[in-house]
Amino acid sequence: MSKLDKKKAQAKIKQLREAIEFHNYRYYVLDDPEVPDAEYDRLMRELQALEAQYPELVTPDSPTQRVGGEPLEGFEEVQHLVPMLSLENAFDEAEVQAFDKRIHDRLKMDGDIEYVAEPKLDGLAISLLYEAGKLVRAATRGDGRVGENVTQNARTIRSIPLHLQGKDFPQRLEVRGEVYLPKAGFIKLNQAQEKKGEKLFANPRNAAAGSLRQLDPKITATRPLEMYCYSLGLAEGAALPDTHFKILQKLKQWGLRVSPEIKSVNGVAGCLEYFAMMENKREQLPYEIDGVVFKVNQIALQEKLGFVSRAPRWAIAHKFPAEEAVTKLLAVDFQVGRTGALTPVARLEPVFVGGATVSNATLHNMDEIKRKDIQIGDTVIIRRAGDVIPEVVSAIPSKRPKNAQQIKLPGRCPVCNSEVVQLEGEAIARCSGGLYCPAQRKEAIKHFASRKAMDIEGLGDKLVDQLVEIGLIEHVDDLYKLNVKQLAELERMGEKSAENLIAALEKSKQTTLAKFIYALGIREVGEATAEALAMHFHSLENIMQANEEALIEVPDVGPIVAGHIYSFFRQPHNLEVIKSLQQAGIHWDESEKPAGDLPLAGNTYVLTGTLESMSRDQAKEKLQKLGAKVTGSVSSKTTAVIAGEKAGSKLTKAEKLGVTVLDETALMRLLKQ
């Protein structure tokens, strides 16, 4: 083609990009292409040719850049703007009916409730963030609060728009959805893997997750990944419809792909009818699903229902029946998790189930083993649902051999030989060597160094992993034995970074009793409980010597938490580490007043919005030092809500409940007491 002048080329490039994005919308979102593939290819080739002539006009959001950028060294962490919560599961009709009844009871409503029913795709959850209509970030779900930045890889997925359609979209929009690999794409991918002599993927979900998390985006670009959006995370700067179903249709108008299988249904009968329909249709779908999801349609009702733990009360996943097989239980090992939980793991005669060969399966805990009456040597039924860890469902008593053996919980940790404890009323047994046990050491060190604990700046997760793996640190007290020379020799460290870390370690030695208790990582002792313990006992020695009866007298400490605290301070290994930390120079002021003598004792505050003079965490710490309790939710018992700039729903709720609202000036007066 003849070379256009730059101004004309710029206009033509803009026109071509808009045309290609429009045709992507017609093809992926509406499933109604307006032009044949050949015409689409011609437009793409023309754009590529112009961008080759004028490389300075190439932008990261051009359709030609979906092939992927340079390989990454690793994925950076992303803090989700709004947590990506899990869903509770239902496995039969009775559990769906119980869910519907809970909704009715909580709302005090009669008659059918309208739900949105949608297929539960078997892929990888992802969050997409658009600003001014442009895709600026994509992140995996991770632990729900922190995920991995996979923006470069997400750009290679053609069903993810790089620009939103229309003009009425929010200035800032975050949507959630599922990245998946269609069945046909999965077959082709495994055929290609086989030709190259490489390992085959077990199922489409594994293939999708592995493809999206490739450090080289060019590899992701070769995988036929697709995405459906199923919910809204955040919308700023635009009015939204009042139902979940209408919001999904709005997302579709903005160019985001929404499953055509999503329906609005009435009542629990409509939910069960949809489930049966999708179960029958499952094999004909071009992608894998492992169940369906039901969500209360009215947004106002969703807000009224709220959340419990890590899941919304207004939604549930109704899972399809799992696949099962029969095999023999050969032995049982006990694995120690990062929190010290001992999990019995069944070693099995290998059996093919749920699309994979299974030789290990979880037995959950000792209570489950007793309830199911499972013994070593039994013939057992194994269940594997989708990509969920296989489990032993039950034994077949009629096939039990005479030499079958009872499964026994070890008295000592199989990793560090610390005492195994199982508190009354708890199903899970745990290793008590929290600060000492190698199975827990990485997580113990990461928690110890975290901002709300010892706040050791520069000691990130990857550095902790490296320090442990090369043997420089075994336990948290070893951090204070490090020197600049050792650190400077580490990969990607350098002398200046090493000096900064040593300085941060030195700075962390001056702390508070509450932060130190929290840093120890005692089971179920969070910031508020650690603060309450410090306020109540005034010294570490008093806490360490307290019996369970004395611990229960502390606000926020019940019998289970008291048991965790008491057990933690009875373990010699933990006491050795604490003594070593104090000898290293960690100290705090133990002259705090008793909690009841502090000026804000008995008051409860909620912080919302952005403060100018300090962060919310700093404000929280100052209020707590004055004896106040700081919580994350507003209730009629809240003393006051402290509202900064851009305060949100908490301020609205406070006004509805008639709770006092204080501005930043009032907060500063409060802190001067």
Model confidence pLDDT, tens digit, residues 507-555: 999 999 999 999 998 888 888 889 889 888 888 999 999 999 999 988 7
Cα maximum dimension of the chain = 89
Lowest mean pLDDT among 12-16, 69-73, 112-116, 145-149: 69-73
Q: How far apart are CA 538 and CA 557, in angstroms?
A: 16
Choice among 7, 120, 246, 452 that is catalytic: 120
For 609-646, what is each residue's pLDDT tens digit? 888 888 888 888 888 778 788 887 788 888 989 988 88
**Amino acid letter at 318?**
H
Q: What pLDDT shows up at residue 314?
A: 95
Which residues lie closer than 8 Å to 60 by C-beta, 6 or more apart? 69, 155
**Position of tokens 């520069």?**
458
CATH number of 599-671: 3.40.50.10190
Question: Domain 424-592, CATH 1.10.150.20 — does that match?
Answer: yes
Least confident of 9-13, 381-385, 404-408, 561-565: 381-385
How many C-alpha atoms does 245 have within 13 Å on its Cβ side? Answer: 16
pLDDT reading at 55 higher than 90: no
Range with lowest mean pLDDT among 394-408, 570-584, 625-639:
625-639
Higher-scoring residue by pLDDT: 353, 661: 661
pLDDT score, position 68: 47
> In this structure, what token pair is assigned to residue 143?
């632990």
- pLDDT score recorded for residue 95: 92
Q: Domain 6-67: state its class.
A: mainly alpha
Residue 418 has pLDDT above 50, yes or no: yes
Q: Residue 320 in contact with residue 279, Cβ under 8 Å?
A: yes
Give Cα 441 to chain centroid, integer Å. Answer: 21
Q: How far apart are CA 486 and CA 478, in angstroms?
A: 13
What integer is the mean pLDDT of 159-170? 90
- pLDDT beyond 70 at 578: yes
Contact (CB, 8 A) for 346 and 380: yes
User: Which of 114-118, 138-142, 421-425, 642-646 is modeled with the greatest confidence?
Assistant: 114-118
Which is it for the CA torsion 7, 9, 11, 14, positive or negative? negative
Token readout for 197 is 């002599």
Q: Is the pLDDT of residue 608 over 50?
A: yes
Concatenated DSSP letters of 91-160: -SHHHHHHHHHHHHHHHT--SPPEEEEEEEESSEEEEEEEETTEEEEEEE-TTSSEEEB-HHHHTT-TTS
Per-domain boundaries in the chain:
6-67, 88-319, 324-399, 424-592, 599-671
- Domain boundaries 88-319, CATH class: alpha beta
Residues 6+ apart with CB under 8 A from 190: 200, 201, 207
pTM (predicted TM-score)? 0.51
Tell me whether domains 6-67 and 88-319 share a fold.
Answer: no
pLDDT surpassing 60 at residue 595: no
For the question of residue 650 being annotated catalytic, the response is no
Cα dist from 375 to 347, 351, 366, whole Å:
12, 18, 12
How many Cβ atoms sit within 10 Å of the Cβ of residue 401?
Answer: 12
Topology of the domain covering 324-399: OB fold (Dihydrolipoamide Acetyltransferase, E2P) (2.40.50)
If you average pLDDT over residues 651-657, what whole number do you get? Answer: 86
Of the listed ranges 246-260, 280-294, 573-587, 645-659, the least confidently predicted one is: 645-659
Q: What angle do CA 327, 329, 335 make, to 5 degrees?
A: 125
